[in-house]
């Protein structure tokens, strides 16, 4: 039906879809050609197979099989961690020995097991909390004035607070993450050493669910409006194009920044619930 109406052609089996794509199938003309050939085969029937060399079918199946094995097992080397790659091999072995149905069941079990192990591998989502005084930039050619600003205890590296995150962020540990950040900021505020810049580093974060992403977007509002942090920076890592989640977290953080400059009245305060206000005023002990 997709081909009749000019859509992309697809098959019930993945191997046929791969064969169609690798032979240059694309666009409406290719889809309509497949529809015409399929309709003709329905009329002619399997008797046309008598005129095809038997070796052609075997060669075609061998080519598709080798191509799919290379795509799933060889090309994926280095793209996944060892646990995820082990799941690929388990699915491959089960499919070879017991068939497709057993492989689907093994795939579901492997995916759930991998997610569970990765989620509990790092119980604490915060790897470390430190100031920029312990870190040094790679830019050594700063002028004397810039070095003086950075070395100043009131405006330099000591007023830059860094939260380095790790593992999977999901609904089970994101509350611990946000509560810890609010407790640390409250302690800094009580000591009169509230940071000017807060950096939240997501470089070691493997994945995030939607609950964690929404909590991070809300956390930025809390840092700016309850703790009066002037600048917040969220580092995603240089090896990927954004946060490891489906939710458009980058856009949400940008929208919060734009909204924070314009919304300063009652409407802005309504976005922070009562629990956050109580946590900011009287946080529990660590």
pLDDT for 122 equals: 63
Half-sphere CA count of 139, side-chain side, radius 13 A: 6
106 or 3, which is more confident = 106
CB 235 within 8 A of CB 198: no
8 A C-beta contact, residue 205 and residue 168? yes
Q: Are 125 and 166 in contact (CB under 8 A)?
A: yes
Is residue 273 predicted with pLDDT exceeding 60?
no
Res 120 pLDDT > 70:
no
Tell me which of 124 and 22 has the higher pLDDT: 124
In this prediction, residue 168 carries a pLDDT of 82
- pLDDT reported for residue 285: 45
Higher pLDDT, 2 or 25: 25
Summarize the confidence of residues 138-161 as an average pLDDT: 74
Rounded to an integer, what distance in angstroms lies between the CA atom of residue 81 and that of residue 103?
21
pLDDT computed for residue 185 by the predictor = 92
Residue 90 CA to residue 247 CA, distance in Å, equals 30
- What end-to-end distance do the CA atoms of the chain give, in Å? 61
- pLDDT tens, position by position, 3-28: 555 555 554 556 666 667 777 777 67
Cα(67)–Cα(74) distance, rounded to whole angstroms?
A: 10
For residue 6, give the nearest of 37, 34, 36, 27 by alpha carbon. 27
Q: pLDDT band at residue 51, thresholds of 50, 70 and 90?
A: confident
Cα dist from 107 to 15, 95, 252, 265, whole Å: 18, 10, 34, 51
Pairing type for strands 126-131 and 160-169 reads antiparallel
Max Cα–Cα distance, the chain, nearest Å: 88
Say how far apart CA 9 and CA 17 lie, in whole Å.
8
DSSP 48: G
- CB of 19 closer than 8 Å to CB of 64: yes
What is the pLDDT, as a whole number, of residue 277? 45
Q: Is the pLDDT score of 286 beyond 60?
A: no
Q: What is the pLDDT of residue 258?
A: 52
Highest mean pLDDT out of 89-98, 127-136, 234-243, 249-258: 89-98
The pTM is what?
0.55
pLDDT at 6: 55
Q: What percent of the chain has pLDDT over 70?
A: 76
Query: Is 33 a residue whose pLDDT tops 80?
Result: no
With beta carbons less than 8 A apart as the criterion, state whether 128 and 120 touch: no
Least confident of 92-101, 108-117, 182-191, 239-248: 239-248
Least confident window among 1-10, 156-165, 185-194, 217-226: 1-10
**Mean of the per-residue pLDDT values of the chain:** 77
Q: Which residues contact 77 (CB under 8 A, 6 or more apart)?
A: 85
**Separation CA 77–CA 80 (nearest Å):** 7
Strands (E), the chain: 126-131, 160-169, 197-208, 231-235
pLDDT for 227 equals 87
What pLDDT, on the 0 to 100 scale, is given for residue 119?
66
Q: Is the pLDDT of residue 184 over 90?
A: yes
pLDDT attached to residue 4: 55
Question: What is the per-residue pLDDT for 137?
Answer: 62
Rounded to whole angstroms, the Cα distance separating 122 from 243 reads 18
């Amino acid at each position: 039906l997709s081909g009749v109406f000019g859509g992309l052609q697809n098959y019930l089996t993945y191997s046929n879809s791969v064969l169609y794509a690798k032979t240059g199938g694309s666009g409406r003309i290719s889809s309509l050609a497949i529809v015409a050939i399929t309709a003709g085969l329905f009329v002619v029937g399997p008797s046309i197979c008598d005129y095809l060399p038997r070796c052609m079918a075997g060669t075609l199946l061998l080519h598709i099989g080798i191509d799919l094995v290379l795509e799933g097992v060889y090309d994926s080397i280095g793209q996944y961690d060892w646990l995820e790659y082990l799941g690929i091999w388990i699915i491959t072995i089960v499919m070879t020995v017991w068939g497709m149905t057993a492989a689907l069941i093994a795939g579901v079990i492997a995916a759930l097991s991998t997610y569970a192990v990765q989620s509990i591998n790092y119980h604490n989502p915060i790897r470390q909390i430190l100031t920029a005084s312990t870190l040094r930039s790679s830019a050594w050619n700063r002028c004397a004035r810039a070095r003086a600003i950075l070395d100043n205890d009131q405006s330099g590296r000591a007023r830059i607070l860094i939260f380095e995150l790790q593992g999977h962020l999901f609904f089970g540990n994101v509350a611990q993450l946000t509560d810890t950040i609010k407790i640390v900021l409250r302690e800094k505020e009580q000591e009169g050493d509230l940071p000017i810049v807060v950096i939240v580093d997501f470089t070691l974060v493997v994945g995030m669910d939607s609950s964690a992403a929404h909590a991070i977007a809300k956390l930025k509002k809390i840092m700016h409006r309850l703790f009066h942090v002037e600048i917040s920076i969220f580092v995603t890592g240089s090896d990927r194009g954004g946060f490891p989640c489906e939710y458009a977290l980058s856009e949400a953080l940008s929208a919060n920044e734009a909204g924070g400059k314009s919304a300063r009245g009652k409407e802005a305060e309504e976005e922070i619930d009562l629990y956050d206000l109580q946590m900011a005023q009287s946080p529990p002990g660590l």
